[in-house]
């Protein structure tokens, strides 16, 4: 019996996460309920033809020569879910510094995590099995107000993974810190002004003329200028309604693009957020007044923001459990957020906000075939992913935790 167990475990270990399990260039998914996360809405008994990594056709009774056929009768197909804020690929064990690449003592605004992403992280197949196909990966350090810049990655597990898009947003914190909020704003404005002066006099500075860099490097100041030039948005981690209003005033003063993360009290200023077209990343499961910055937290935050016309993105605050964003979306739906909007908050809204919607985030002809097939409503915790594609390649849903589960089930004689 022990020999059989060892053989099974070895076979599972050979099922490497991210390896394609289908060699066909064409795949035809038939008879599915397709939740498109687009204006097409939900399509019943619909076929999807995948060719060369793209969605080639959507319709009924499609045919294709030499295509692999997947019968998705009584199944639901959605776009792959996108984690809008995580340290996937940067953090393995939070309390073990050697497994963390999300912080630095050398840079602040200019800290790019693009070259630190680990596609072999055990957290990737674990979260991928919950429907996450790509992620906005952000730094967590905060040497100054700024943490650094975010990049986007596929979670297909390929060793040669390159960012889908690199340095697409700058991340900062604002709120209850060791320093006064007033001081944080002054430091932020000083950083902006310093970046402007550096850009204006860059040629002479690089020739050797004196310039007071303060706590910043050239890389930091050039990154800040990308925000001021509206090349990338400023992603602000903040919760208190008054703090959000303060940052909105900064955005208007400097005419920059802004995205809020956390935003537990955002519902209090929903009309302002809608008017200023500022998206909000939130975790509907994180809905209690856990700090003095979140006294007005409430369970229907997402529904109230959506009703006001705010673009919402749904996340899970735990990188290790980024896939729980799906449960958060279901929770938001239970408190008034329409289900189609809940799905969009996991997919196309993320793609739109971070400039990825041309290629992913919804099911449409010509887009990347990042797809998940579910055995039930994806907003229900009792539903599970049964198959997944990333850029048209079938992706294993086996994770280390699933192999361990099966191992002990076998040992207990339950499988």
Asked whether residue 13 carries a pLDDT value surpassing 60, the answer given is no
Residue 14 has pLDDT above 50, yes or no: no
pLDDT in tens, 87-116: 999 999 888 888 899 989 889 999 999 999
Please give the pLDDT value at position 411: 82
Domains of the chain (ranges, CATH numbers): 18-80+362-397 (2.30.40.10), 81-360 (3.20.20.140)
Q: What's the confidence (pLDDT) of residue 141? A: 66
- Spacing of C-alpha 71 from chain mean position: 29
Mean pLDDT of 383-405: 91
**Residue 183: pLDDT band with limits 50, 70, 90:** very high
- The pLDDT confidence band at residue 142, using thresholds 50, 70 and 90, is low
What are 185-209's pLDDT values in tens digits?
999 999 999 999 999 999 999 999 9
Collapsed DSSP state (helix, strand, coil) of residue 98: helix
pTM, two decimals, is: 0.91
> CA angle 249-250-254, nearest 5°?
120
User: Any idea how long the chain is?
Assistant: 415
Q: What is the pLDDT of residues 283-298, one digit of tens each?
A: 999 999 989 999 999 9
- pLDDT at residue 16, as a whole number: 38
- Percent of the chain exceeding pLDDT 90 equals 81
Instruction: Provide the pLDDT for residue 314.
Output: 98
pLDDT of 407 reads 84
């Amino acid at each position: 019996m022990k020999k059989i167990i060892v053989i099974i475990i070895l076979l599972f270990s050979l099922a490497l996460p991210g390896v394609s399990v289908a060699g066909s260039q064409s795949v035809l998914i038939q008879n599915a309920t397709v939740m498109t996360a687009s204006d097409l809405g939900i399509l019943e008994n619909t076929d999807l033809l995948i060719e060369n990594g793209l969605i080639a056709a959507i319709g009924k009774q499609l045919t294709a020569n030499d295509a692999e056929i997947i019968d998705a009768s009584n199944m639901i197909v959605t776009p792959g879910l996108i984690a809008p804020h995580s340290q996937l690929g940067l953090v393995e064990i939070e309390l073990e510094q050697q497994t963390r690449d999300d912080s630095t003592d050398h840079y602040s605004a200019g800290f790019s995590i693009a070259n630190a992403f680990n596609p072999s992280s055990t957290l990737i197949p674990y979260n991928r099995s919950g429907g996450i196909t790509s992620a906005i990966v952000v730094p967590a350090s905060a040497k100054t107000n700024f943490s650094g810049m975010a990049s986007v990655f596929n979670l297909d597990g390929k060793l040669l993974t390159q960012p889908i898009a690199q340095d697409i947003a700058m991340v900062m914190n604002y709120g209850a810190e060791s320093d006064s909020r007033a001081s944080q704003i002054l430091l932020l404005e000083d950083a902006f002004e310093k970046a402007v002066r550096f850009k204006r006099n860059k040629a002479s500075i690089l020739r050797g003329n004196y310039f007071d860099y303060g706590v910043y490097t050239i890389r930091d100041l050039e990154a800040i200028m990308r925000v001021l030039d509206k090349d990338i948005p400023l992603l602000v981690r903040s919760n208190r309604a008054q703090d959000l209003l303060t940052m909105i005033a900064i955005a208007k003063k400097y005419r920059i693009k802004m995205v809020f993360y956390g935003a537990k009290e955002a519902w209090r200023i929903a009309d302002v957020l809608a008017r200023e077209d500022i998206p909000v990343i939130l975790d509907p499961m994180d809905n209690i007044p856990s700090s003095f910055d979140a006294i007005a937290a409430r369970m229907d935050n997402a529904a109230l923001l959506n009703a006001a016309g705010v673009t919402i993105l749904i996340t899970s605050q735990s990188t290790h459990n980024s896939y729980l964003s799906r449960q958060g979306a279901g929770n938001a739906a239970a408190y008034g957020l329409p289900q189609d909007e809940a799905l969009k908050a996991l997919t196309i809204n993320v793609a739109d906000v971070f400039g990825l919607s041309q290629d992913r985030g919804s099911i449409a002809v010509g887009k990347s075939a990042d797809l998940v097939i579910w055995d039930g409503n994806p907003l229900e915790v009792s539903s599970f992913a049964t198959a997944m594609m990333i850029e048209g390649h079938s992706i294993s849903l086996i994770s280390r935790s699933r192999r361990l589960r099966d191992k002990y089930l076998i040992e207990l004689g339950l499988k």
